[in-house]
Structures are given as C-alpha cells and as structure tokens.
C-alpha cells in the first residue's frame, strides 16, 4: 500500500512537471507568435512586400531645345529597347546567346554588356539593344519564357529634327561613361543619356530634370505582374536659344560642301542668330552609338566635321584685321585719316621685300582708300609706325586674342602676339618685319570666326563691348532690347573713318567686294574682305607668275574671309564668313555674306517691301549659282 502511494506521488510529480514543461513551451510559442504577428507585424509585412514589390527609378523626359521663335530643334521620341537584369538572368552569357538568335548582337555589344554586368549592381538593368522595330519587339516578347531576365522597355530617345544643320550648336547626348558616374542613380539607368557637346553639355543639368519612381508587383521569378503605383519625375526644363532656325538652315545651305564657318549676331545685344560649321555630322549617331567605320569616317575626314570651326577654328584674319591696325594708328597719332602712303606694289625693310596683293601697286593711298582697296603697303607702314604692342592692345579691345565666354564648350582664344609674348614663347626678341606682317593680319595672329563677328559688331555698334551668347536673355522678355554696354573708349570720329572705309569696300567704285553689294535701298552692307595665304610664295614664283588657287591642291589654297554689317546707316547685324582654302575673300566669302545679311534682314522685315527684298535675294542666289558674280581675283 505504502509502495503504491509512493508510486502515485512520483507519477503525479512527473505529470505535473511534464504539464508544467508543456505549459512553458506553449507559453513561449504563444509569446513568440504574438511577438512576430503583433509586435513585429509591420516589419515582416515590409519584408514580405519587398520580396513582392520592386521600386524602380524612372528617367525624366529631357527638356526640349527651342529656337528664338519657339520652334523645336531637339526633342524626344519613343525608343523601344531590350534590357537584361543579370541577377534574374542566371547564366548571362547563355541568355545573351539565346537573345542573339533573335536580334543581332555584335562583339562590341557582348563586351559592353558583360563589362557593365561586372561594374554595376546585379539588379540594375543593362541595355542590350536600343531603337528596336516592332518586328524585333514581337519576336522577343514571344520568346520571353526562354529568356530569363530579359524585358522590353519603352523609353525616350533624343531626336534632332534638323540634324547636321544644327549639330555644332546643339551638340549631342550619349551614354554615360564610367568616369562620368557621380553616384547619381539616374546615371546608372539603362539607356540614360547626358550631354556630351554643345548646348546639350553646357545646359545638361537644366535639361536633365529629376527622376520619378514606379512600384511593380513581381512573382517569385522576378517577372513583373502589374504596376501598383507610379510617380512621374520632373521633366527637364526647356532651353530657348537666340538662334533663328530659318536663318541657321539658310546659312548651312549656302555654305554647302565648303569647309567653312559663318556667324551672325545682333550688334547691340550679342545674340547669336546663326552659327554654322561645315561639313557637319549627324548628332543622332552618337545617341544610337557609332560603329567603328562611322567613327573613322568622321575622325579622318580632312575637313574636320566634328570641329565647331566657329569657336575652335583659328585662322589668320588677313585683311579683315586692317580695321584694328587703322584704329591703333589713329589712337596713337601715328597716322591721320589724311596721311598718304605711296604703294608701288611692294616696300622694303632692310634686305626683305614685302609685297602688296596688287602687283603693280595702288598708287597714293589715304586711310579711306587703303581700306576700300585693301592696300597692303599702306598697312605695312601703319603697323611700322604704330608698333605691335599698340596693335595687340586694340585687337583685344575688339574681342580678339581671348575667349569671349559664349555658352558652348571648346572655345579657343586665338592669338594676338606682342613683344612680351614672343620672348616668353620663343625666347627671342620681336622683329620689326613681324610687325609689318601683323599689319595685314598674318604671321602669328590667329582669330576664330566668332571673334571676327564680335570685332565687327563692336566696330559697327558705336564702340561698345558687346559679348556673344546663345541662351535667350531674360532681359528680352522684360522688353529691354538694348542692354547697357561698356564703352571701349574709341573716339566716334575714328570709328567713322573705319566704318566709312568698310562701306567703300562694298559700295565704293574701287571696293574689293563691290560685286557683292546689296542694291536694295536701305539694306546695304559694309564689310571687309580677307584672303589669307597658307603657303609661302617664293621670289621665283612671283617673277614667273603666282599660281592661281584653282590650280593648287586644296590644302594649299588661300582661306577666303569676309566680315560685314548691315544696314550701313543703322547697323543691326554683323556677320563673319571663313571658307577654308576657298580662294579669294572677294569672290568666295563676300557673296555668301551678302546673301546671309539679306536673309537676316528679310526675317526681321516688318514694314519695308518684303516681296521686293525676297526678289532681290532670289536674284542674288541665282547669280551666284550660275557663276555671274565674276571671276576670282587675288584680292585681300
């Protein structure tokens, strides 16, 4: 009995211990479940949603670029592209091999995709091919089950509506390179483009905008089921330029196949109305991606289509520099407008002989007639009396020898030599003969077409420091069309002498550009021709007869230059035209400038006979096209 009682007590204790243990375990389980389902509910809900919901960054639409009248020059269009997400693709090379049977992938595409997969995070989509057509999209969509990690995305691609005609101003966008990665998530998006040249580069941040986001539900394999929410980004701002699209296209058409540049600007505001460099290139190719053959064709072209000659082409200004020499001589008092110099065709300095472009000479010249007929001997003498340092100082006042700060990348500063410069650059003293050569705008002197246009604008606007720009000025919207400009301190009577000479160049009896005068009343232009030698003419060649440009290889022909302004009585527009190896400034560059100045005046015409002006323009174009302008002359 006692033994049974002990057994019962033992059993009861064990049962109680077991029950207690079960109670503790059950309490622990309940507590844990409460902790997970109540206290940590939000956390685990979020973790579950992260496995089910993907948050994707959306690229913002790039802002449009408009001309001064609101016409689009660069905008966006739909772009279908194939993407691959490495972490979902598994064996990326195998997936690419399958995809290459549907759409062609070059060796370059393979290298790029595998390289991007190495340097980007595994969940970031990589662009396989862009600009797919409907057939490509349909074939990929049908084969999606066999292409893990591959998806079709509809994005936007930059569209340049006028391609080559605006390429050097607008520039282009292209894919982000590794060295351009700044940590901005937008830059890692597949197919994202940034500005690489021109206005696209300078105003990239303005045009880029800010990204949006999209929440999409995915299945266990990572395939998108549906979009849950979308927040659009902030589109890039529009950029309105001072360029007049009609004028820009007209200038590009007139320059044609020449290796040339032309700049048109408002002499009072500095607005650049047209800036053309030829030959040009298709900016859309950089957006889509150049192949090696296309790249080689651009890089090895002797006419340098990738260079914006308007701001990066540096040329001896030739006789277009004579206005600066004249002003420097007047400022110093070395010469007066009435000072006479006799030109017999050459002048001597020691044992060296310096020739005039006119072999028999011009006879006795004053400053007005020397500008009109572009007498080299007169300006040799003017330079000798004035000195290189005074000439260089005047050139800088007029905008030469320094960058002008235009809102484009790659602007060159040109060169205005001085005694100090030569000693620093070459370690030898400046020679008087070099001053004479500088007097006709050759030797060390270099200028860009933009600088020549600015020089002409400052001469014609009364001597004010106007500066060129492409972004439309906010002052214009407020009605301030004539901003306050700094005076260059040039006496009006000196400017009148120079402007009178430029008027005679085109409208005078003996002017070197008289064949290019504008006959329509009130629209006359003034200007200055320039013919720049790019080779040395030997004494023997001068005795036997200088070889004509047309008989020389293209690279050895003279550069043709013309600068001008219009209308003569109330200057509003300035132009510079440079035709590389084009021949004579009077026969090649001046007729182009005439047509350009006629066109820009026509575009702003409101009251004075637009139909008559149009007829004048058409007659001018027809005459040039049929060769009725006149034979080429070796005039400076």
Give the residue numbers annotated as catalytic, written as ranges: 319
Q: Is the dihedral of CA 84, 86, 87, 93 positive or negative?
A: positive
Angstrom distance (rounded) from CA 246 to CA 335:
44
Alpha carbon 79 to its chain's center: 25
Strand boundaries in 517-597, DSSP class E: 526-532, 559-566, 573-579
Tokens standing for residue 565: 């302004």
Distance from C-alpha of 38 to C-alpha of 92, rounded to nearest angstrom: 42
Written in H, E and C, the secondary structure of 540-563 is HHHHHCCCCHHHCCHHHCCEEEEE
* Distance from the first to the final alpha carbon of the chain: 142
Distance CA 628, CA 608 (A): 28
Q: Are 244 and 273 in contact (CB under 8 A)?
A: yes
In angstroms, the CA 632 to CA 588 distance is 8
For residue 31, give the H/E element and its range. helix 2-34
C-alpha dist (Å) from residue 288 to 81, 131, 369, 484: 11, 8, 56, 45
CB 290 within 8 A of CB 283: no
85 Rama sector, left if φ>0, alpha if ψ -120 to 50, beta otherwise: beta
Distance set, CA 453 to CA 273, 402, 407, 457, 596 (Å): 12, 14, 16, 6, 13
DSSP one-letter code for 166: T
Residues written for the chain: 636
**Which sign, positive or negative, has the C-alpha torsion 291, 296, 301, 307?**
positive
Q: 10 Å Cβ neighbour count for 229?
A: 10
Q: What is d(CA 89, CA 147) in angstroms, rounded to the nearest whole number?
A: 8
- Residue 58, classified by CB atoms within 10 Å of its CB into exposed (0-12), middle (13-18) or buried (19+), is middle
């Amino acid at each position: 009995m006692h033994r049974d009682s002990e057994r019962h007590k033992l059993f009861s204790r064990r049962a109680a211990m077991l029950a207690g243990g079960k109670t503790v375990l059950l309490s622990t389980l309940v507590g844990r479940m409460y902790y997970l389902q109540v206290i940590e509910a939000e956390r685990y809900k979020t973790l579950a949603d992260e496995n089910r919901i993907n948050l994707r960054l959306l690229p913002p639409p790039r802002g449009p670029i408009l001309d001064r009248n609101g016409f689009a020059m660069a905008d966006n269009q739909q772009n279908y592209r194939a993407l691959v997400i490495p972490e979902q693709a598994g064996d990326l090379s195998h997936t690419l091999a399958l995809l290459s049977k549907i759409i062609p992938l070059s060796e370059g595409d393979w290298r790029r995709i595998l390289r991007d997969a190495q340097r980007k995070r595994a969940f970031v989509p990589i662009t396989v091919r862009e600009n797919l057509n409907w057939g490509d999209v349909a074939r990929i969509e049908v084969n999606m089950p066999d292409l893990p990690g591959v998806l079709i995305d509809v994005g936007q691609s930059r569209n340049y509506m006028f391609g080559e005609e605006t390429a050097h101003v607008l520039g282009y966008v292209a894919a982000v390179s590794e060295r351009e990665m700044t940590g901005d998530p937008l830059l890692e998006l597949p197919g994202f483009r940034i500005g690489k040249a021109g206005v696209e580069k300078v105003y990239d941040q303005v045009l880029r905008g800010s990204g949006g986001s999209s929440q999409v539900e995915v299945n266990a394999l990572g395939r998108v089921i549906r979009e849950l929410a979308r927040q659009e980004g902030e589109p890039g701002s529009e950029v309105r330029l001072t360029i007049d699209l009609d004028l820009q296209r007209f200038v590009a058409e007139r320059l044609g196949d020449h290796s040339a540049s032309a700049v048109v600007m408002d002499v009072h505001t500095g607005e650049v109305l047209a800036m053309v460099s030829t030959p040009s290139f298709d900016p859309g190719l950089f957006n889509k991606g150049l192949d090696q053959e296309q790249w080689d064709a651009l890089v090895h072209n002797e006419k340098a289509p990738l260079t914006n000659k308007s701001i990066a082409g540096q040329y001896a200004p030739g006789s277009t520099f004579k206005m600066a020499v004249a002003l420097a001589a007047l400022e110093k008092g070395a010469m007066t407008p009435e000072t006479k110099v006799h030109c017999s065709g050459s002048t001597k300095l020691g044992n060296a002989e310096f020739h005039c472009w006119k072999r028999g000479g011009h006879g006795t010249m004053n400053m007005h007639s020397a500008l009109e007929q572009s007498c080299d001997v007169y300006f040799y003498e003017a330079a000798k009396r004035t000195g290189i340092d005074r000439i260089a100082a005047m050139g800088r006042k007029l905008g030469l020898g320094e960058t002008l700060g235009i809102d484009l990348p790659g602007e060159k500063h040109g060169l205005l030599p001085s005694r100090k410069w030569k000693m620093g650059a070459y370690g030898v003293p400046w020679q008087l003969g070099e001053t004479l050569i500088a007097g006709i705008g050759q030797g060390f002197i270099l200028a860009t077409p933009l600088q020549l246009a600015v020089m002409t604008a400052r001469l014609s606007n009364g001597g004010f420091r106007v500066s060129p720009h492409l972004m439309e000025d906010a002052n214009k919207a407020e009605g301030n069309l004539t901003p306050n400009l700094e005076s260059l301190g040039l006496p009006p009577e000196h400017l009148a002498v120079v402007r009178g000479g430029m008027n005679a160049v085109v409208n005078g009896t003996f002017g070197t550009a008289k064949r290019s005068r504008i006959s329509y009343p009130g629209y006359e232009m003034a200007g200055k021709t320039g013919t720049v030698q790019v080779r040395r003419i030997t004494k023997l060649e001068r005795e036997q007869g200088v070889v004509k440009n047309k008989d020389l290889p293209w690279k050895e022909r003279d550069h043709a230059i013309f600068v001008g302004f219009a209308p003569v009585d109330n200057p509003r527009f300035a132009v510079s035209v440079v035709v590389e190896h084009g021949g004579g400034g009077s026969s090649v560059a001046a007729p182009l400038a005439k047509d350009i100045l006629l066109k820009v005046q026509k575009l702003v015409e409101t009251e004075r006979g637009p139909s008559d002006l149009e007829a004048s323009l058409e007659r001018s174009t027809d005459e040039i096209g049929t060769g009725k302008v006149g034979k080429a002359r070796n005039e400076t």
